[in-house]
């Protein structure tokens, strides 16, 4: 009996594909499903051939269910009772597709649509949360338009999450948000990372110059200026910054003014396969983030055994990120410099930190383990709703 999965996403996947951020079987872990119907709540038309890796050997079907600024306006800011016409289109599409399960990445209009489909057609659905909306959406909304959108999104979140069959938090800081909403049917399911190209770092001898790498979106909450200035003050070091964003030009200026333009390399984007292969060839990973998360960009170096330097964020710490896995510093040039100097001069500490991080990361976040957890959950839900399918 063929199985069909409907995945409803709000992202523009053409943009993601250009960055090379593609993980095999991301939408079809364990290749549980024969057909995957990807529904984009926008007018994006990504290349199906480039998307195929995301669903493995399943047949991929792309659909658009646009929900742009006009819908926001006519629904007076996504008021649920005014979204009926748009949600009815989602139900009609599900009637054609006849999915056995729906997966939503995020609790936005996509989860609202899934809740409406479940109410009408009794199709189970799973929502994965990739941020803590209280902290990283409403807590970082500074402009009037951002505040309006964040407030409007709040109306949809509770509906989509409460009706879901499972809610998956991709790291522990999301749990407090779910508990505030009274969501009990949640589990912590970490992101599935690159299954083929995360190789173990085995040689901890330093290169000349010492290779330091940093990965992340270049923006206010992830501003690596302090790291750049620390590297500038350390002769014999070179920094590679992978990422782009509104702070990109500013960071180039910081590197030039600090006298390190020739030692700081900027890579606005890098395919994920290449990045994963590059990580174990570096000496140290260092980054800055004020987000309450354990980001994919940090999990990847931990999974290779690369020594990691992170800032102590302003606010509650990330429970997964302890000083047994990484060196935690203040977000100052002096903080990063002290950590880098210690890692550069103490070989036993550097190698021990990397090896301990690798062992812990493999136990908790190994791609084969996380992918298997998602596949097992899908089979369980299929078995509950279509007896014999998940056997």
At residue 387, the pLDDT reads 56
Q: What is the mean pLDDT of residues 279-292?
A: 97
- 385 pLDDT band (50/70/90 cuts)? confident
Length of the chain: 391
- 68 pLDDT band (50/70/90 cuts)? confident
At residue 389, the pLDDT reads 46
- Give φ, ψ of 128 to 5 degrees: -105, 135
pTM: 0.92
Residue 39, pLDDT > 60, answer yes
Note the pLDDT tens digit of each residue in 328-354: 999 999 999 999 999 999 999 999 999
The alpha carbon of residue 180 and the mean position of all alpha carbons in its chain are separated, in whole angstroms, by: 22
- 360 pLDDT band (50/70/90 cuts)? very high
Domain ranges within the chain, ordered by starting residue: 4-189, 210-364
Residue 285, pLDDT > 60, answer yes
Share of the chain above pLDDT 90, in %: 88
- 267 pLDDT band (50/70/90 cuts)? very high
At residue 391, the pLDDT reads 40
Q: What is the mean pLDDT of residues 6-29?
A: 93
Share of the chain above pLDDT 70, in %: 99
* Bond before 209 cis per omega within 30 degrees: yes
Residue 25 gets the label, from left (phi > 0), alpha (psi -120 to 50) or beta, of left
Indicate the fold that domain 4-189 takes in CATH: Rossmann fold (3.40.50)
**Identical fold between 4-189 and 210-364:** yes
Give me the chain's average pLDDT, please: 94
From CA 206, how far away is CA 213, in angstroms rounded? 13
CATH, domain range 210-364: 3.40.50.2000
At residue 390, the pLDDT reads 43
From CA 212, how far away is CA 233, in angstroms rounded? 14
Report the 3 state secondary structure along 46-77: CCHHHHHHHHCCCEEEEEECCCCHHHHHHCCC
- Strands of the chain, DSSP E: 4-9, 35-40, 59-64, 101-105, 125-129, 166-169, 186-188, 210-215, 237-242, 264-267, 284-287, 308-311, 327-329
From CA 208, how far away is CA 226, in angstroms rounded? 22
- Give φ, ψ of 200 to 5 degrees: -75, 135
At residue 201, the pLDDT reads 97
Note the pLDDT tens digit of each residue in 151-179: 878 889 999 999 999 999 999 999 999 99
**What is 281-293 written as a DSSP string?**
GSSEEEE---SSS
């Amino acid at each position: 009996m063929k199985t069909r999965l409907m995945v409803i996403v709000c992202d523009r996947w053409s943009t993601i594909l250009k960055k090379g951020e593609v993980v095999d079987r991301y939408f079809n872990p364990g290749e549980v499903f024969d057909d995957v119907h990807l529904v984009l709540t926008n007018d994006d038309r990504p290349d199906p051939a480039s998307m195929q890796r995301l669903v493995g050997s399943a047949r991929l079907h792309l659909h658009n269910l646009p929900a742009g600024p006009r819908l926001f306006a006519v629904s007076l800011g996504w008021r649920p009772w005014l979204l009926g016409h748009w949600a009815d289109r989602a139900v009609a599409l599900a009637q054609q597709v006849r999915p056995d399960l729906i997966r939503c990445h995020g609790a936005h209009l996509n989860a609202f649509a899934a809740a409406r489909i479940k109410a009408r057609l009794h199709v189970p659905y799973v929502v994965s949360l990739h941020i803590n909306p209280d902290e990283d959406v409403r807590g970082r909304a500074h402009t009037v338009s951002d505040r309006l959108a964040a407030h409007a999104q709040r109306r949809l979140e509770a509906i989509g999450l409460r009706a879901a069959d499972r809610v998956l938090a991709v790291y522990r800081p999301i749990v407090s948000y779910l508990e505030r909403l009274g969501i009990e049917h949640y589990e912590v399911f970490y992101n599935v990372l690159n299954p083929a190209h995360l190789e173990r770092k085995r040689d901890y001898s330093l290169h000349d110059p010492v290779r330091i790498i940093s990965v992340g979106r270049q923006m206010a909450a992830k501003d690596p200026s302090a790291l750049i200035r620390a590297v500038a003050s350390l002769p014999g070091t070179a920094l590679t910054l992978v990422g782009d964003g509104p702070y990109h030009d500013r960071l180039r200026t910081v590197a030039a003014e600090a006298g390190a333009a020739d030692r700081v390399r900027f890579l606005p984007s890098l395919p994920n396969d290449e990045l994963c292969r590059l990580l174990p060839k570096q000496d140290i990973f260092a980054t800055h983030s004020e987000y309450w998360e354990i980001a994919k960009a940090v999990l990847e170096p931990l999974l290779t055994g690369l020594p990691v330097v992170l800032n102590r964020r302003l606010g509650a710490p990330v429970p997964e990120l302890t000083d047994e896995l990484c060196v935690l510093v203040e977000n100052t040039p002096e903080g990063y410099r002290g950590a880098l100097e210690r890692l550069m001069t103490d070989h036993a500490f550097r190698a021990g930190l990397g090896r301990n991080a690798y062992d812990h990361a493999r136990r908790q976040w190994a791609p084969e383990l996380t992918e298997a957890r998602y596949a097992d959950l899908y089979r369980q839900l299929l078995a509950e709703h279509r007896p014999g399918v998940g056997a």
